[in-house]
Structure 1
Amino acid sequence: MKVKHKIETSKLRNAAAVVAVMLGGFSQPLYAVDVDTELLLLVDVSGSVDSSEYDLMMQGYADAFDSASVLSAIQSGAQGAIAVSLVFWSGATQQQVGVDWMLIDDAASAAAFSDAIEASTRPFNGSTAIGSALQYGATAFGTETGQADNGFTSVSQIIDISGDGTDNNTPPDEVSRELNVQAGRDAALASGVDMINGLPIGDEDGVLKTYYEDNVIGGSAGGVDAFAQQTDTFGDVQTSLEAKLISEVGAGAVQSTAIPEPRVAALAGLGMLFILCKRRV
């Protein structure tokens, strides 16, 4: 009996050690909402975007989230849900949350996010600091990028940044703007952001798309590499954004299906420990 007791005790200790390892590397709070993707929309409101273009752009963003195809992509993942936030950006120190993190898991919540976009107001009209926007964007996520809890946890953190021009304001001034943008991109990816995609607008000749591909986008999710979605005019934002959302949300859905949330693994370990405890009793 003593030998059996030692074996059971050893099993319990081993199980406890497994759970401790799981929980030790598990920084997300247990009360956070599991989603497939946390998607941050960085929207350019620099001075080159006039008021009529701004209205067209924001209507395009709002309408894209009313799309049945986008909702279908959102619901295709393991959790059937995403968290989305929208941040306006312009100059190096000009970033502001337009719509805070919201859950989208059905038509009603998608419509609520669309309504929140329409209710937002433009905060800036300044320079264009893409690199600064990307660095700020990385801080908008939760514990996955080392920040304070944002109420959600996922295996995919994706930045979607729009813009109608090249960077002219990300510091330092003595370094080329392209290198500054690349540094912002690399810092965001290093912090834990999985993928940065671009929505270059007013880009009929594709020059801005090439700029985004060379300097702005990076990373991957669910086997999909980062990409820039060319958008000819501000009136085309809805169509381009819908296609873009379907691709990036779909990528997050694939990744969430392939990689279980740390909380799931931890709870499985706790379940194993509970079973062993019951057997011992």
Structure 2
Amino acid sequence: MASFLCLLAILAALASASPARAADDAVDVELVLAVDVSRSMDVGERELQRQGYRAALRHPDVIGAIRSGLHGRIALTYVEWSGPGSESVVVPWRLVEDEASAAGFASAIGPADPSGRFGTSISSILIFAATLFENNGFAGERLVIDVSGDGPNNSGLPVEPARDAVLARGIVVNGLPIVLRPGGGFSRFDIADLDLYYRDCVVGGPGAFTITVTSTDEFETAIRRKLIQEIAATKPRLMLAAADAATGGSDCMIGERLRQNWMGR
């Protein structure tokens, strides 16, 4: 009952979010980079993620994608997350429009924190990220949350209702599922088909997509491809995540079930 009441409060808060104001800076996209730093990602992998973003933001192809839009600039923020209440804004909202501003954002990301955090709550980061668009000083043609992670939702609210509440606000959710250990096995909460779970349970909205990372060598290239696709002014394809979830076959509560089974033992 408490979770249901909490979800109703979240839905009401998202529905009543403040619209963009005329004085806000117009940008092509407002993009939240939401990066998993749970303990299932070791310190080397967490640093690879940060380095991947630092390198991608300096790449000429990403700069070209930023310049290709109607306004030729974007708004960007970098957030790290794990369990409920663990979200931290590493780099607050910044305007990125050229090599200098992109390099400045990349430098602000800095080195990874050596200590990981407990839990994986995709639902919590989606809700937290959605609130970051409110009164941030920007007016984007598109609002996008980009979630990376190496496991399913296993704490906090279920991911589907949280995802659907975010989509109802017109926010697109893209995913970067990280599958470095095929078949699971590193963590008791890992699943083999994380890429399908992200497709069916996490992403959604016009043009939504996932790019899967299957080796440490792919981080930088995958992040660069993802940023270009998110930023570039291309006609989106429509992918309704809720409809896909109904036919995709993924169990969107698998993380919660694994956690319950472990705690039951």
Which amino acid in the other structure matches residue 49 of structure 2? M
**Number of equivalent positions:** 210
Q: 1:187 aligns with which of 165, 177, 192?
A: 165
Q: Is the 8 A contact 1:202 1:232 kept in 2?
A: yes
Q: What do residues 123-151 of structure 1 show as CA deviations (whole Å, max 9, x unaligned)?
A: 85110001111111111113xxxxxx101
Q: 1:39 aligns with which of 31, 34, 40?
A: 31
Q: Deviating runs (4+, > 3 A) in structure 1?
A: 119-124, 203-206
Listed as ranges, the matches of 1:1-281 within 5 Å are 27-118=19-110, 121=113, 125-142=117-134, 149-171=135-157, 180-193=158-171, 195-203=172-180, 207-220=193-206, 225-250=207-232, 253-254=233-234
Which amino acid in the other structure matches residue 151 of structure 2? G
Bigger drift between 51-60 and 199-208 goes to 199-208
Structure 1 alignment gaps of length 5 or more: 1-25, 143-148, 172-179, 257-281
Which amino acid in the other structure matches residue 53 of structure 2? Y
Q: Is the 8 A contact 1:161 1:198 kept in 2?
A: yes
Which amino acid in the other structure matches residue 50 of structure 1? D
Which amino acid in the other structure matches residue 167 of structure 2? L
SS in 2 for 1:155: strand
Among the aligned pairs, what percent are the same residue? 40
Shift of residue 31, structure 1, vs aligned partner: 2.2
CA distance in structure 1 between the partners assigned to 2:102 and 2:72 by the alignment: 13
Between structure 1 and structure 2, the one with the greater Rg is 1
Structure with more helix by fraction: 1
Which amino acid in the other structure matches residue 39 of structure 1? L
CA distance in structure 1 between the partners assigned to 2:166 and 2:94 by the alignment: 21
CA distance in structure 2 between the partners assigned to 1:32 and 1:46 by the alignment: 34
TM-score (norm 2): 0.74
Root-mean-square deviation (CA, aligned residues, Å) is 2.1
Which amino acid in the other structure matches residue 93 of structure 2? W
Q: Is the 8 A contact 1:219 1:226 kept in 2?
A: yes
